Structure 1
Amino acid sequence: MSAPEPHTPRIAIYGGSFDPLTNGHLDVVRSACRLADRLVLAVGIHPGKAPLFSPEERLEMLREVCAPVAAEEKATLEAVTFDNLIITTAQQLGATLLIRGLRDGTDLDYEMQMAGMNGVLAPQIQTVFLPASPRVRPITATLVRQIASMGGDVSAFVPGAVLARLGTKFPR
């Protein structure tokens, strides 16, 4: 009887601005950790954009909030920044799964186009769409920033650690 083949770890990458990390992102992270042995959260850096949180702050929030979720799902978690195509970063990290969250049909239309383009650029990387849970579907980082900047309560939309950081950006 021969020895079983060694397991090749499944590496998934989930990219975004995460500015800020929302409960919607966390929902996708939890689902992605069920599919992969290692999940890489990739914070996109765009020179033309002025984010609310620095790349370092976003990496800290991702590690603080998402690492326990990954551990609970028996996956390892890594958080990195990237300033090129997500598919290029996925190739560099050895990822075979590209995770994308879907809230609605508009997201699906856009993401299908991106999946098609990425499939041509890197056919060895499979795009996986994860639908958002109904309770987090309306959440967007843009709306969270807008509500917080106007003094609104965003506690239902972000993890506690993120809420505390938002409070330092927008003191009441």
Structure 2
Amino acid sequence: MNKVAIYPGTFDPITYGHIDVIKKALKLFDKIVVGVSDVSNKNYLFNSEERINIVNKALFKDLNLDKKKITVVSFSSLTTDLCKKFKSNIILRGLRAVSDFEYEFQLAGMNRKLNNNIETIFLMSDVENQIISSRFVKEIVKLNGDIRKFTTKSTIKSLKDKYA
């Protein structure tokens, strides 16, 4: 039986921290569904379609990861509903620092209350990527800083095009 894990997030934009989590998850699961959240209460830099294109380019063009093992989708439902759609009982979440833990712990608990078959697995990105956040990447590029250590070439191009 194939083990499918759901990795939800805004990915606005995807960073090497996100990519670390995906690469580590590929060692544990048969398939990863990267769920690009499109809930309307967020103020996104990129719209859902743009973020899906950015994630696809980063994973498959820049990094040449296995398309058979990763699916990138948009969703505007509960993550537990996305799990149901892809017949998964695993939600992946990345942890960067202790400050992430309280929010993630509460989120995992709520998802568990919504569906008690759901398990949340926390993965940490490599040490050098734990400080990276999409918010900081956007701020740095907006101020003409160098973000090559934080995300892929195609993502950098998308960011520069957006702020041009």
TM-score computed with the length of structure 1 as normaliser:
0.88
Structure 2, gaps ≥5 residues long: none
Counterpart in the other structure of 2:129: 136
| Stretch of structure 1 that moved more, 115-124 or 29-38 | 115-124
Q: Distance in 1 between matches of 2:30 and 2:56?
A: 16
Which of residues 78, 85, 95 is equivalent to 2:88?
95
Matched, 1:62 2:93: no
Q: How does 1:71-82 map to 2 (within 5 A)?
A: 71=66, 76-82=69-75
Give the superposition deviation at 1:75: 5.8
Q: Distance in 2 between matches of 1:75 and 1:35?
A: 15
Which of residues 144, 150, 158 is equivalent to 1:165?
158
RMSD: 1.6
Q: How does 1:1-172 map to 2 (within 5 A)?
A: 8-67=1-60, 68=63, 70-71=65-66, 76-171=69-164
Q: Distance in 2 between matches of 1:140 and 1:121?
A: 28
CA contact (8 A) 1:22 1:141 kept: yes
Q: Give the number of equivalent residue pairs.
A: 162
Distance 1:109 1:48, change over 3 A: closer
TM-score computed with the length of structure 2 as normaliser:
0.92
Q: Distance in 1 between matches of 2:41 and 2:3?
A: 33
